[in-house]
Structure 1
């Protein structure tokens, strides 16, 4: 039996540790291969450029895209901003209406609110108890003024997977541009931009065991060709959509990370689904309730609430041995209920009683067994204290 190392990390939706194989691929570009990929007049720059294009090809292949449809950014948040603001600006002659969803990541919701502040019209679709939009409501929300739809592929809190293929079909039937934030999905579930009729897609390397500070915006090149306005101006890199010196080590790491993720996806999902079901079964014995869809969800996600027990009390009680997160977003001044959990029908008390467990590549069965027993023990202890 392998000796457990504490704290056990189970917050893989927030970020993932850098895979050692990814670091090995990056190291030469952090040291001797330091060239600027835009400096093609000498071997240093050419070498960096070749590495960038090799990574671009790997990422494109992983999502069914062409290599010239991959635009490098600093992360999914920047990609979301370019997708929404850049597209609504570029196609303002078509209309001023954007359709999104109440459970989107803040990177989309806050960008949508910015667009509202400058005169754009936003429809925020509601969700059912599992976090799914109603496709008929989506269809009904489309008007002659609608420019784009932005619905995430998989939710970052409850793991619910959207019916992206049907959403893409509806969008294209109505000649509307479809964007999806796939930060939690790419590298974890199969995503194909052609089959799913996705026009714009945002994702990050650090969600799939790659480095932080590097992301991608997929931009469809044909049928239809999409070209959002740039938000960053300078040297005209990345098809004039995102200027700036390219993060070569990060890009190389992204390419390696997605290559590994695609190869190991099936085996990881099988393992996580089994472990997640085992944990849920044990937690349900002490009153735990699953948040989100029981089947159509990310296999490594487990979000649940324990009635009458604040998530912070659970998290603090296990913090020296287990790293998990709350189901609510916290700031230093005020604790607010999760907008996702409220949207699926939980009240504030239930939202504040929710925890999120995110399994990862390095997680072991021994860790899962320990975590399950430890959380149950602490919940029972907290319950006795409060009686």
Structure 2
């Protein structure tokens, strides 16, 4: 039997809680499928390690991870450690070290979930947002000098390369081609950012021209936010820069009912290195340890992991179990208007998996 080797990094806040739940559901999915098994290895990297050693992960962390089929990542960030430290020294260190340049975020309104939009609009949400994950604002170019003085200066430079833009646009085109509507929206801000974003537009136009079966349109990012709210049915696959897509994908999850549902994959399309899969809700220290964190984002993320690792049947089985549970509307966490605990939602999804296999 095939065994998937998965590195489990709970990280900070509610991350360990939802990753533990996600690992249990992955094991249940494997049992229901019968064609593979999951082998997990835990890594206690994150803010606790930083407090003890001034490192978010070991110096040889990438080497420790490189032999796994996938990485299952919870969250990063702590109130007592600057956000740029926790992000750059763990999550981004893995994403950039393994060249996981495609951040892929699916969104749809799950059965039984009430989003903030009118029902007829909410039911139109079925999107995939493809976020450039290696350059732009993540290039790390800039600096800060003369701290505390009147002439203090701080500068961050968004860096775009022709190949960086081309490869994320190609990946988005391939995703759009795999979806029924074959519709791609290229998001930009070239009216204000006249160098990097103008090149973004030009390179994306060159790439999309190679996909004549696609319907392609272009939107300024500010107008795109309004379109997602007012006309969600006109959106399908979206490609955008790191910063723009980060904002749009959080808006997407909010429109779908809760950030606790959001899933994402940090993908190395070359498959030379393991890709990393994480729910998007963050560390959520306000509910850490209360047992009420929504694990559905971790379960959807687990389905993405299975799909990427060549188990599409199991991925579909898992999402069907998630939708069966949400559709009943009886076992939902407080962020979705329910009273269920993390453990209760997890048990319900595992029961749905077992029932589907009976």
**TM-score grouping bracket, smaller chain normalisation:** under 0.3
Larger Rg: 1
Which protein has the bigger strand share? 2
TM-score, normalising length: structure 1:
0.25
